[in-house]
Structure 1
Amino acid sequence: MKIVVFGASGMVGQSALRECLLDPEVDSVVTVGRSTMDVTDAKHRHVVHADFGDLSPVAGELAGADACFYCMGVTSAGLSEAEYTPVTHDYALEAARVVGGTFVYISGEGANAESSTMWARVKGRTENELLALDRPVFVVRPGFIQPLHGITSRTRIYRYVYSWTSWLFPLLRRVAPKYVTSTEALGRAMVALAKGAQAPKLVRSDEINRLA
């Protein structure tokens, strides 16, 4: 099985890559990024590409994929909708256009195309457009994500938040299990979807934990 991962340097992308490399049924993982990446596993290949709005130049290297995990994201803090839309919407649709197989889009709890909140509206619109495609698509909406195995967010404020609230995760798992998952469970769930696991099109934290 060949899986293409966008955003493998971020927290969610790291978890997806880790579980892909650990799964014996995944024999090829291609990550795509703007900068180089350390490759330490024989089944991992990294493709450097600058323009995510046009993946045609690297389409050959992405061909034959059984699944594509779109994990790219950017914090909406301080950004206008025009600045936030390319990574969240445009590049995701381009990845879906070029890469075949099951498409897994990492969204977020609260995404809604009708929302008055900018990030939720853009993610919700992207979800709707992807789900309308004539192909297997899953939208994954994690809530609180517990980082495990040394995985960290590239966004400084998120790293601080996870550090300050790490003690809360056991409590949250008890009182709000539908909204809490971990990087390990998230990565495993994505691989399970790639392998054909039965799941609703909108996959929330409780379903992520079940699939893992």
Structure 2
Amino acid sequence: MKIILTGATGMIGEGVLLAALDHPDITEILMVNRRASPLRHPKLAELIVKDFTELASYRTQLTGYDGCFYCAGISSFGMTEQKYSEITFDTTLLFAKELVLLNPEMVFFYLSGVYADSSEKGKIMWARIKGKTENALNELPFKAAYSFRPGFIVPMKAQQNVRLIYKGLNLIYPFVFPKQTLTYDEITTALTRTLAVGYNKKILEIKDLKLIARQAGMAE
């Protein structure tokens, strides 16, 4: 499988990337970043795109991929709804629309969040916009589009971009709330299996990701 991955310089994107590099079914990864990553690997290539409105200039590099793990994102803390929407909704759809033109058989995976609001009518700003983004992606003519909503994710030892609060929570959270905790291996295994065989839900909650990862393990 050939994968495009965004958000590799962020915490979750970096973790998914590291797990994807170790996954035997993933043969090539193109990370699309706004700034360079120090990570090097035989499977890995990097494309620096500082302005996603100029994606048309990179069509050759973005063509020929089976899937996209879209892990780019930003916290809504301290942001206006308009600015958060521009980054979370507008930029994501801009990127996705370009990819679907170039790779109509692609499977697109969007990093959403627990409690994202698919109704788009709730009181929580970030949840509404995440839900709006999920819904809009489902309307694009990809082979399939899925949104995954991980909860707490156990940091990988090799990760460089781990927030201090996560390091502290990792000492407690997985033991107190194991059903709400995922590993990056579980996430990447679940996404890779879903890319290969599909899934009967477009929203991949924690329980779905765990179930798919277990199914992948039993199928080996």
1-side partners of 2:62 and 2:195: how far apart?
A: 16
**Would you identify which runs of 4 or more consecutive aligned residues in structure 1 move more than 6 Å?**
none
What is the aligned-residue RMSD (CA, Å)?
Answer: 1.7
* Structure 1 stretch displaced more, 121-130 or 93-102: 93-102
Give 5+ residue unaligned stretches, structure 1. none
The one-character-per-residue Cα deviations of 1:77-126 (angstroms, maximum 9, x if unpaired) are 00001111122111211221122300000000111111111100110100
**Aligned partners of 1:199 and 1:150: how far apart in 2?**
33
Q: Secondary structure at the match of 1:126?
A: helix
State, as a whole percentage, how many aligned pairs show the same letter. Answer: 29
For 1:21, the equivalent position in structure 2 comes to: 21
1:168 aligns with 2:173: yes
Residues 156-180 of structure 1: CA deviation (Å, up to 9, x unaligned): xxx232123222221101xxx1x32
Q: Distance in 2 between matches of 1:151 and 1:209?
A: 22
Please list the CA deviations of residues 33-66 of structure 1 after superposition, one character each: whole Å capped at 9, or x if unmatched.
Answer: 1111224212210001111233111121010110
Query: How far is the alpha carbon of 1:152 from its aligned partner?
Result: 5.3
- Where does 1:57-76 land on structure 2 (aligned, <5 Å)? 57-76=57-76
Per the alignment, in what secondary structure is the counterpart of residue 32 of structure 2? strand
Q: More displaced, 47-56 or 73-82? A: 47-56
Which letter maps to 1:38?
P
Residue 134 of structure 2 is matched in structure 1 by 127
Judged with a 3 Å threshold, the aligned counterparts in structure 2 of structure 1 residues 44 and 134 are, in CA distance, closer, same or farther, namely same
Unaligned regions of 5+ residues in structure 2, if any? 214-220
Instruction: State whether structure 2 residue 79 is matched by structure 1 residue 79.
Output: yes
Deviation at 1:187, TM superposition (A): 2.3
The TM-score with structure 2 as length reference comes to 0.86
- Specify which of 95, 106, 114 is matched with residue 121 of structure 2: 114
SS in 2 for 1:95: helix
Aligned residues: 204
Distance 1:8 1:34 in 2: 10
SS class of match (1:53): helix
Q: Distance in 2 between matches of 1:43 and 1:146?
A: 24
User: 2:93, 2:173 → 1: CA distance?
Assistant: 36
Paired with 1:152 and 1:43, the residues of 2 have a C-alpha distance of 19
